[in-house]
Structure 1
Amino acid sequence: MRLLFCLCLCLAATGLHAQASVRTADPAVRGVPLSAFPRFVKLSERVYGYEEIRQPGFTTVSLIVIGRNGVLVADGQGSVQATQTMLDRIKTISPLPVKWYVVGSDHGDHTAGNSVLPEDMQFVVHANSLAQLKKDSAAAVAANRPAVIVPPVAMRSDDEIIDLGGISVRVRFLGRAHTGGDLMVEVPSENLLFMSEAYLNRVFPAMRSAYGAEWVRTINQALALKHVDRFIPGHGFIENANVSREELVAFRDAVIAVIAEVTRLKAAGLTVDQAIAQANWGPYAKWFLAEQQSPIAIRRLWTELDGASK
């Protein structure tokens, strides 16, 4: 009986381990109910990830850093309601005001709720993203849609340090990737790097406005940072340190594979529509949003290979 009991325990532990090791951006496959979101993921005593679900059912991630002088948020959420919920929940972990906001990605799924940010917010944005937000704002006004919040000025360099009081962050532009103005937030004391949409954990590479070859180089720059041992994605689940590096490498390899497949199809003399129909993504066909994102990636990389997306 005792042997049987021990065997059951071992099998149960193995099952739990197998479930915990599922590498996917799909909450259902990972075994996380949608009712668990939004949620904080504690990264250290003063640093949190914030995972919220967006349609069609995967996470959008924000970074929260708490200093003595206030709170820094990197990336918002995709609607006014979702961003307000995040601000309200931040109050449950710190009474201090949100004073700094880093635009890691200028895309609407990270900025559309920014109208509820405090009026005296100090923005940190790359010049490329600032230019894009100005275009988006003009388009919104012309279409009689809600205004896009445009920060007053861009950051002066590609590497800026913000002292929050007792903890500092380093805002870094390591190169163009998903948007062209991709900013990352390093917290040196915690050995972590929030990569925004430059890192999509187990999500098929989204390339609507991406720079494929440069994206690979940007990820390599992040992997080469000596004191970083935990990488936080802009979409997909936040992983433990050792897994996060493995998954970032896996994502880089996915970007490389997508570029290689599109290059192969173009060299074969196919039209872009034929390439969309014939593309073979191998294991990446099972990644989240592959069916939706792959045609977009092909069209974008097609123009890049033609030299039209510089």
Structure 2
Amino acid sequence: MSKQFASHADLEEKRVSFVKLSDNAYAYTAEGDPNTGVIIGDESVMVIDTQATPAMAQDVIRRIREVTDKPIDYVVLSHYHAVRVLGASAYQPRHIIASRDTYDLIVERGEQDKASEIGRFPRLFRNVESVPAGLTWPTITFQGAMSLWLGSLEVQLLQLGRGHTKGDTVAWLPQQKILFSGDLVEFDATPYAGDAYFADWPQTLDRLAALEPVALVPGRGAALTTPEAVAQGLAGTRAFIADLHAAVKAGVAAGKDLTAVYRDTYASMKARYGHWVIFDHCMPFDVTRCYDEVTAHPHPRIWTAQRDIEMWKALEG
């Protein structure tokens, strides 16, 4: 490969923040690295997304232990991507919860995704040897919606539509109007859309907005702690997805091949979004998936380590 993945140059350690959103909700963020959500109930703790390895999850656990000694009984997977799930064993939860769609994606493509992501993101999979053999499997699955009561605190797990993947799950605290969105929403960070549903994603974001969150923990980027910041995060993600989709559709309509569509779309998006975290890394994957959706593949094709390399060489070599 004549040019490495853009993420291979991303070796600088990020500054971690552990932000209190309420007496029950915290956001673990790290300057555009994948976020983790924490919900503290009356007798137990729930973690939303796990970090990429058990070794990296230890820093989340350390932060949790600074504010509570309650057991971490639940881990929620917002979707199936390895960077979100492979740290789960560190928490020793009683239950790992995911949507049935996420479970099905793990069955279908979990092994390939694991190899693909580890190859793309060396820093995010630091101490990858700490990941147990095999995959992270849910012990509870649901379809559409489920509620858990952490004592007097209700946590709703909701599938509000396809977007980042077909299995996207958000965690919602209806009593406090705090939302954990997973990668359906990013803030000052480029949405990874290699497994996305571009036509559906904006409508899914509208359903998130209809909840009227007063605070939101995105998949990447700073915690959004006011309704105004939440609206900004939703609008920014929606604009990125819509702009990229429109550019790709225009290129396909003009009869251009993927390489030409990629170059044109990158150029059209760079000025507005190029300063966002992982822009250069995500764009080849995002445009490839969008081109597939607009042409011949309504459902995402499986990314393998070999397909990653071939795609990157074709578009960035």
Short-chain TM bin = 0.7 to 0.9
Structure 1 Cα separation of the partners of residues 157 and 115 of structure 2: 33
- Contact map agreement 2:166 2:196 (CA 8 A) in 1: yes
RMSD of the alignment, in Å? 2.4
Shift of 1:98: 0.5
Please show how residues 296-307 of structure 1 align to structure 2 within 5 Å: 296-307=285-296
**1:169 counterpart SS class:** strand
- Classify 1:52/1:219 alpha carbon distance in 2 versus 1 (closer, same or farther; 3 Å): same
Give the structure 2 partner of residue 288 of structure 1.
Answer: 277
Indicate yes or no: 2:89 matched with 1:111. Answer: no
- Contact map agreement 2:28 2:36 (CA 8 A) in 1: yes
Structure 2 Cα separation of the partners of residues 115 and 136 of structure 1: 20
Which of 178, 181, 205 is the matching residue for 1:219? 205
- Contact map agreement 1:203 1:289 (CA 8 A) in 2: yes
1:50 is aligned with what amino acid?
Answer: Y
Structure 1 Cα separation of the partners of residues 113 and 194 of structure 2: 19
Give the structure 1 partner of residue 141 of structure 2.
Answer: 154
| TM-score of the two chains, using structure 2 as the length reference | 0.79
Give the structure 2 partner of residue 4 of structure 1.
Answer: none
- Contact map agreement 2:56 2:87 (CA 8 A) in 1: yes
- Classify 1:97/1:147 alpha carbon distance in 2 versus 1 (closer, same or farther; 3 Å): same
Structure with greater Cα Rg:
1
Shift of 1:247: 2.1
Runs of 4+ in 1 over 4 A off after TM superposition: 136-145
Give the structure 1 partner of residue 243 of structure 2.
Answer: 257
- Classify 1:172/1:140 alpha carbon distance in 2 versus 1 (closer, same or farther; 3 Å): closer
Shift of 1:186: 0.6
Structure 2: any 5+ residue segments left out of the alignment?
1-11, 117-128, 300-317
1:274 is aligned with what amino acid?
Answer: A
1:235 is aligned with what amino acid?
Answer: R
Indicate yes or no: 2:158 matched with 1:180. Answer: no
Give the structure 1 partner of residue 155 of structure 2.
Answer: 169
Indicate yes or no: 2:43 matched with 1:69. Answer: yes
The superposition leaves residues 124-153 of structure 1 with CA deviations (integer Å, 9 ceiling, x where unpaired) of 211111112224555599999831111134
Give the structure 1 partner of residue 125 of structure 2.
Answer: none
Shift of 1:305: 0.8
Structure 1 Cα separation of the partners of residues 155 and 253 of structure 2: 44
Q: Which has the higher contact order (CA 8 A, sep 6+)?
A: 2
Structure 1: any 5+ residue segments left out of the alignment?
1-32
Indicate yes or no: 2:107 matched with 1:134. Answer: yes
Structure 1 Cα separation of the partners of residues 290 and 14 of structure 2: 37
Indicate yes or no: 2:99 matched with 1:121. Answer: no
Structure 2 Cα separation of the partners of residues 74 and 142 of structure 1: 22
Indicate yes or no: 2:185 matched with 1:199. Answer: yes
